Structure 1
Amino acid sequence: MEEYFSKIVALTDLKQNKPLNEIVFEGLRDAIIQGVIPVGERINESIYSEKMNISRTPVREALRRIQEEGLVEYVPHYGVVVKKITIDDAKEIYQIRKALDVLATINAMKIMTEAEFEEMRHLLVKTDEADESGNVKLVVELSKEFNDMIYRFARMPRLDVIVKKLRQYLVRFRDISLTEDNRRRKALDEHWLLYKYMKQQNVEMLTAIINEHLDFSEIFILQTMERLEVSSKKEKENEK
């Protein structure tokens, strides 16, 4: 635990101007999603509260909320442990994402102003320039900004909150997918197509591009998860 607890403390910044319960919840949740706390690890309320120098109550409340999201589970006579995000979980997340992304994109398309379309076009140009210069980190950041922009222009804040939570489950794998040249260029081309068909108010083509975009991302991430599973099994076998 000592090896990764400094990272947990950094994610759980108690100096934030938020209620303590919310800070602890967000910090522990991020630590689990980002893989800082290993799968199968027991989360002991007493130890965590002692390390954070807080009472056990906010830790207990955070674990209750995290358990409701399915990120941890209670094992009788043992305690709360971190659950693994499975391939079936990833498939379900993508199925939901497809429906919600189509909803948000169509809603944005109907109400966006010319100024907002120009802001989107400018972002895509900036992303292409970053890609051409080989700045992969910036491409990843700007691609996230493009996805966020669609939800911002859709003016559906509740939907935005739901989708951001879904994205976080696969954040470790999503960024990997954009570091590969072929996948990254395809994703950027699809972003341009989304912009084009949003301007044309073409619902049919928008839906097709969104599904294709997420299908390709899903295949890549599932393959990555499968490779990591195989690698993990081999490591465990070697340890025996």
Structure 2
Amino acid sequence: MPATDRSHDVYAALRDQIVRGDMPAGTVLSESEIAAAMSVSRTPVRQAVARLRRDGLLHQPPGRSAVVTAVSAETAVELYQAREALEPYALTLVARSRERDHFTSLAGSFNELASADRIDLDDLHALSREFDAQVRKRCGNGYIARLLEELSVHTARLRMLARGDQDRLHASARQRSAIAHAVARGDGPEAARLEAARLSDSLAVVLRELLGTTVGIHRGEPIA
């Protein structure tokens, strides 16, 4: 397998562990241990670590090993500000296009999840990733698609904060269903409005989990 493929595999594996919380904030990465565990040389591990640093998922003090970054209220707010600037407009672009039929089935799938007594977190996240991927694919703007792709890793990490909140998971599924319906019928302004409201609700949950309250933002305080 080419070195670039090995590096991508290591990157994907480490990224997924960080996003899922298997490597919580403050975890110190040992390149030699990772290389041994994944049966690769240290070169693809170093390449993967460098890529994760660029993503903002790791930081590496001079002369020391890389460490998983903490999630702070400040960075969460900045992420949601970026998403609010991009995602409603991307949905408007998709609603204007002729390639929106897939959103009818997505709306039905989200509605089915919302109707369940209990939502499986993996099912909702998988469907949300499919929704986001379709938006990037069909918005018709490569710059916006790439920016949304860059933000998606951090978005996935924050989604895990609401893993035990069934009320929020059901609300999110209902909101996604309504947004997908609006896109499918070509109502871009309504899809954008609903998405802005969904992002606001989601940020409130994230701040509650990070700070224990939705009132005020203590800048730079990391999650434990």
Shorter-chain TM-score: what band? 0.7 to 0.9
Which range moved further: 57-66 or 146-155?
146-155
Aligned to 1:148: 133
Which range moved further: 101-110 or 36-45?
36-45
Q: Give the CA deviation at 1:197.
A: 4.2
Aligned to 2:103: 120
Aligned to 1:237: none
CA distance in 1, matches of 2:139, 2:69: 33
Equivalent in 119, 124, 136 of residue 136 of structure 1: 119
Q: Give the CA deviation at 1:231.
A: 9.3
Equivalent in 37, 42, 46 of residue 32 of structure 2: 46
Bigger relative contact order (CA 8 A; separation at least 6)? 2
Cα distance change of structure 1 residues 73 and 186 upon mapping to structure 2, 3 Å threshold: closer
Aligned to 1:28: 14
Cα distance change of structure 1 residues 223 and 78 upon mapping to structure 2, 3 Å threshold: same
Aligned to 1:213: 198
Cα distance change of structure 1 residues 193 and 81 upon mapping to structure 2, 3 Å threshold: closer
The percent identity for this pair of structures is 22
CA distance in 2, matches of 1:28, 1:90: 21
CA contact (8 A) 1:105 1:151 kept: no
Listed as ranges, the gaps of 5+ residues in structure 2 are 213-220
Cα distance change of structure 1 residues 162 and 54 upon mapping to structure 2, 3 Å threshold: same
CA distance in 2, matches of 1:165, 1:62: 16
Which range moved further: 211-220 or 127-136?
127-136
TM-score (norm 2): 0.77
Q: Deviations over 1:26-61 (max 9, x none)?
A: 222222232222322222223322333322111111
CA distance in 2, matches of 1:92, 1:150: 21
Give the aligned residue type for 1:220.
V
Q: Give the CA deviation at 1:24.
A: 1.6
**Larger relative helix fraction:** 1
Q: Deviations over 1:51-86 (max 9, x none)?
A: 333221111111122112222222234332222121
CA distance in 1, matches of 2:222, 2:18: 21
What SS class does the counterpart of residue 60 from structure 2 fall into? strand
Aligned to 2:94: 108
TM-score (norm 1): 0.72
Cα distance change of structure 1 residues 58 and 173 upon mapping to structure 2, 3 Å threshold: same
Listed as ranges, the gaps of 5+ residues in structure 1 are 1-14, 233-240
